[in-house]
Amino acid sequence: MIYLVAGARPNFMKIAPVVKKLDKAGLLYKIIHTGQHYDADMSGSFFRDLDLPVPHIYLGVGSGTHAQQTGKVMMAFEEICFESKPSLVIVVGDVNSTVACALVSAKLGIPVAHVEAGLRSFDRSMPEEINRLLTDQIADLLFTTCEDADGNLRHEGIPDDKIYFVGNVMIDTLYNHLKMAEESEILKRLGFEEDGRVKDYALLTLHRPSNVDEQIKLENLLNVLNQVHQNIPVLFPAHPRTMKQIKKFDLIHLVRYIEDISSERSWVSGKNILMVPPLGYIDFLSLMSKAKLVLTDSGGIQEETTILGIPCLTLRENTERPITLREGTNRLVGSDPELILEETSRILGDRASEKKMPKYWDGKAAERIVDVLIGYLKK
């Protein structure tokens, strides 16, 4: 029995294609949802959109400090491993649930497979960087998305026979859902598409602690994004963490917050960016694929925009995904107002970017992973 761990929003897109291929190969598995993300629009809607089965086991750990959250996942996960020891545990990405379950498994002598291994921002102030470094040190099978990641792992002393360059499962999911995204009504509902014509708009996401946990940083960013909004309407589906910070710092006057998007169409002319609750996978993919520009501090969105050929400005000083800078449509702009405005104007003046495909971002990553797992489990 394989345990497949998912806890937070970006994990769900990564497990989806693996689940399909495990099913196809007839391998027995259980989905373990740690409950790190628990809101309907951070979790449940993704299981529906991605056609994932209801998790077999729900640990329900919820929010907390890093130590509390990681500790709670470890205790709950250890207990289920005691009840029934899996033959292998698959963890994905770099969230607290990833490192927590990898650590428990390694100590119980259960082999760990890490999907999306080897990415490094070389910035240890990022909680995800710590999670990535630790998970990779104790994993037995390391599945990578690019050759940079293989190099990083070798540099950290991971032997070659543990590293498998298989491609990008998040992109498998993107390809699997593009047709559904084309059929989404979200652009029409928001007034971005009328009489078959798509208007120009920018899509924004923001949730990294380094951008939203300090009042002055968040305030400055919202101010510059409001300036961008003067040139192109900016739609901002906000992570609950960001929403909470905006309220806490009393910055709500810097956004126009609409809770029920089905009733709103006239917002484009408003003076501030439009903040809406988090969107589901299909609607977000639809918006991303037709956007003139994406502004984000997310990791996965840097990869998705590369494949979609949509210009992406990353509101961070570094990235663990440099391949999207070299081979894709991504640019790092940090939080420098001048650079953000300059790059936005450049993109608005440009023709559309080309679609790019880094090696093995071809929709077949999960298939390669399951092939390796079959060989490994036979040994």
For position 120 contacting ligand UD1 by CB under 6 A, the verdict is no
For position 246 contacting ligand UD1 by CB under 6 A, the verdict is no
**In angstroms, what is the minimal distance from the CB of 298 to ligand UD1?**
6
**In angstroms, what is the minimal distance from the CB of 294 to ligand UD1?**
15
CB-nearer residue toward ligand UD1: 127 or 337:
127
Which one of 12, 38, 201, 360 is in contact with ligand UD1 (CB under 6 A)? Answer: 38
For position 207 contacting ligand UD1 by CB under 6 A, the verdict is yes
**What residues numbered 122-181 form the site for ligand UD1, per CB under 6 A?**
127-128
For position 277 contacting ligand UD1 by CB under 6 A, the verdict is no
CB-nearer residue toward ligand UD1: 131 or 306:
131
Question: Which class for 270: exposed (0-12), middle (13-18), buried (19 or more C-beta within 10 A)?
Answer: middle
For position 330 contacting ligand UD1 by CB under 6 A, the verdict is no
**What residues numbered 79-108 form the site for ligand UD1, per CB under 6 A?**
94-96
Between CA 276 and CA 344 the distance in angstroms is: 22
Instruction: Please confirm, yes or no, whether 56 is among the known catalytic residues.
Output: no
For position 191 contacting ligand UD1 by CB under 6 A, the verdict is no
CB-nearer residue toward ligand UD1: 242 or 286:
242
For position 369 contacting ligand UD1 by CB under 6 A, the verdict is no
Binding track over 5-24 against ligand UD1, x by CB under 6 A? ---xxx--------------
For position 245 contacting ligand UD1 by CB under 6 A, the verdict is no
Which one of 42, 100, 171, 202 is in contact with ligand UD1 (CB under 6 A)? Answer: 42
**In angstroms, what is the minimal distance from the CB of 99 to ligand UD1?**
9
Between CA 60 and CA 7 the distance in angstroms is: 9
Which one of 14, 20, 37, 114 is in contact with ligand UD1 (CB under 6 A)? Answer: 37
Which one of 241, 268, 325, 336 is in contact with ligand UD1 (CB under 6 A)? Answer: 241
For position 63 contacting ligand UD1 by CB under 6 A, the verdict is yes
From 114, 177, 207, 229, the catalytic residue = 207
Give catalytic residues, as residue numbers.
Answer: 207
Residues of the shown chain interacting with ligand UD1 in the complex, contacts defined by CB under 6 A: 8-10, 36-39, 42, 63, 69, 94-96, 127-128, 207, 239-241, 244
